[in-house]
Chain A
Amino acid sequence: MKLIIAIIKPDRLEAVKQELYKADVNLITVNEVLGHGRQMGVAEVYRGVREMGNLLRKIRLEIAVNEGFVEPTINAIIKGAQTGNIGDGKIFVLDLVECIRIRTEERGGEAIG
């Protein structure tokens, strides 16, 4: 089992969702987050007070999958989120120790799908 965490541009969320549906991945958790990587954010000015390097809005996806779904999920995220521009985001893949469905108390691979 893996936990896939992806940071993407907010306006790519819809495209990523569509790609994930095509890859049969239907269970995702979405967060709105702030951040910046190598590129700096944009300037903001309030009554002449200038704020540089502010954080940009990003979307953070969490998807728990069984082994067979890892590559399809990664490919779907790339397909939906890639624009080729700076700031497209990152995908992190983590080992997932356990997964429990609260309703049925099922555990492991059964509980993920």
Chain B
Amino acid sequence: MKKLLMGLLLLFLFIAVAGTAFAAEPPKNDTGDTAWLLISTALVMLMTPGLAFFYGGMVGRKNVLGILMQCFIILCVVSVQWILFGYSLSFAPGKGFWGSLEWAGLRGVGFAPYADYAATIPHQLFMVFQMMFAIITPALIIGAFAERMKFSAFLVFMVLWSTFVYDPVCHWVWGVGGWLKDLGALDFAGGTVVHINAGIAALMTAVFIGKRRGSTQKAILPHNLPFTILGTALLWFGWFGFNAGSSLGANEIAVNAFVVTNTAAAAAGLSWALLDWAFHEKPTVLGTATGAVAGLVAITPAAGFVSALSAIIIGIFVSIFCYMAVTIIKPRFGYDDALDVFGVHCIGGIWGALATGLFASKAVNPAGANGLFFGNPKQFVVQLIAVAVTLAYSFVVSLIIYKLIDVVMKVRVKEKDEVMGLDLTQHHENAYTILE
């Protein structure tokens, strides 16, 4: 009996050993890739407070806390939403409108890599990296309706927008089974998912919430431009995580993304400064900062696919397009996109997505595709489709969400509260004291 048991045990052992030897090598975490993605995730997290200062400096001083709070609360709200169901809706495999609820509450999202997204880092790390993108995207919209949205309505809008606009679009472009991904659309770090998506929703809110009180008689001046420059610097810094982190590894593509990100931001900042100089007599600090952000936006979808020289061209042109949107198109149509979210993020994002279809090169990234200028006009058409779909979907669904909330709880603050400022009326605080 004892011998029989021994024999059986040996047999099981043999089968077990042979089984592991013959099964496909399971993907393993790479320490270098994991380290870089941990840092990248923290860098992208910093972009949302950076954005808060970028925007906060541009509003009146009675509304600065309102802006900082809106950015900060999104960091809190979407972080929780993403864990509970946001990540699952966006990234769980599925061919439908959303992924699925299979990964809700991070069920099955562990430390082993999920090879379809990132084969060398823990699945949870990919999840939290993507979380930071899901946070900054709705935060971008804040600039359009700045200084006049009720905080309670804002919270409801952001939860619904994240769930019904960001999560589906994210799934279509990046998720396994997403139809735009299957179509072959290139979006390295979020030109369509992040910037066009948020930019067009911003235009919608600016149009439907109406102009800021008094903005037609007199321009509402930025109350603290040094804050705006500080915010720009934090955004630029964080964007290295955003773009170079999107290679999902510490590799050559990450280095390329790092180089072109810096290059495009620099070219665009310079280009905007020169445009200011040529058309408004002096190069302005706000203009240069705006240009740099526009350059970062434009290079986002292209960062993993284009060379540094292409990045300079992308950067120079994005400032020209955004400059026209902000100084010509906005006054012509008269919408009050308070901090130019549409003019910078949507226009810059569209240019970036299309420029990816022009300048993408397999010499830079063999896993990517060639663009129009490298003999593949089809890529440009695919990019065009992805842009058009995102614009149409985000505009329509954002509008439905906005109108629903407006019926239930009124989106805009009362006139009396707008006059007194959001800091005091929405949060019972003052950013600055006149007397101690």
B17 contacts A by Cβ under 8 Å: no
Query: Dominant SS at the A interface?
Result: mixed
Question: Is B429 in contact with A45, judged by CB distance below 8 angstroms?
Answer: yes
Tell me which residues across on chain A come within 8 A of B420, comparing CB atoms: 42, 56
* Smallest beta-carbon distance B434→chain A, Å: 6
Question: Is A14 in contact with B434, judged by CB distance below 8 angstroms?
Answer: no
* Smallest beta-carbon distance B231→chain A, Å: 24
Instruction: Decide yes or no: A14 and B214 within 8 Å by CB, A34-B434, A34-B435, A57-B434 being known contacts.
Output: yes
Tell me which residues across on chain B come within 8 A of A85, comparing CB atoms: 416
Contact of A44 among B213, B218, B430, B434 (CB under 8 A): B430
Instruction: Decide yes or no: A9 and B419 within 8 Å by CB, A14-B214, A14-B217, A15-B217 being known contacts.
Output: yes
Contact of B425 among A18, A42, A45, A56 (CB under 8 A): A42
Identify which of residues 309-354 in chain B touch chain A, using a CB-to-CB cut-off of 8 Å: none
* Smallest beta-carbon distance A22→chain B, Å: 14
Query: Dominant SS at the B interface?
Result: loop
Tell me which residues across on chain B come within 8 A of A14, comparing CB atoms: 214, 217-218
Question: Is A43 in contact with B428, judged by CB distance below 8 angstroms?
Answer: yes
Encode B211-222 as 1/0 by CB contact (under 8 A) with A: 001100110000
* Interface size bracket, B side: 10 to 19
* Smallest beta-carbon distance A19→chain B, Å: 12
A46 to B430, CA, bound (A): 10
A85 to B417, CA, bound (A): 13
Identify which of residues 5-33 in chain A touch chain B, using a CB-to-CB cut-off of 8 Å: 9, 11, 14-15, 18, 32
Tell me which residues across on chain B come within 8 A of A9, comparing CB atoms: 419
Instruction: Decide yes or no: A32 and B428 within 8 Å by CB, A11-B214, A14-B214 being known contacts.
Output: no
Contact of B428 among A15, A45, A57 (CB under 8 A): A45
A55 to B436, CA, bound (A): 12
Question: Is B429 in contact with A46, judged by CB distance below 8 angstroms?
Answer: yes
A43 to B427, CA, bound (A): 10
Tell me which residues across on chain A come within 8 A of B424, comparing CB atoms: 42, 44
A43 to B217, CA, bound (A): 30
Q: 7 pairs across A/B with beta carbons < 8 Å?
A: A14-B218, A18-B217, A34-B434, A44-B424, A44-B429, A45-B428, A85-B416
A contact set with B: CB distance below 8 Å:
9, 11, 14-15, 18, 32, 34, 42-46, 55-57, 85
B contact set with A: CB distance below 8 Å:
62, 213-214, 217-218, 416, 419-420, 424-425, 428-430, 434-435
Q: A15-B217, A44-B428, A44-B429 are in contact. List 19 more A-B contacts (CB 8 A).
A: A11-B213, A11-B214, A14-B217, A18-B217, A32-B434, A34-B434, A42-B420, A42-B424, A42-B425, A42-B428, A44-B430, A45-B428, A45-B429, A46-B429, A55-B435, A56-B420, A57-B62, A57-B434, A85-B416
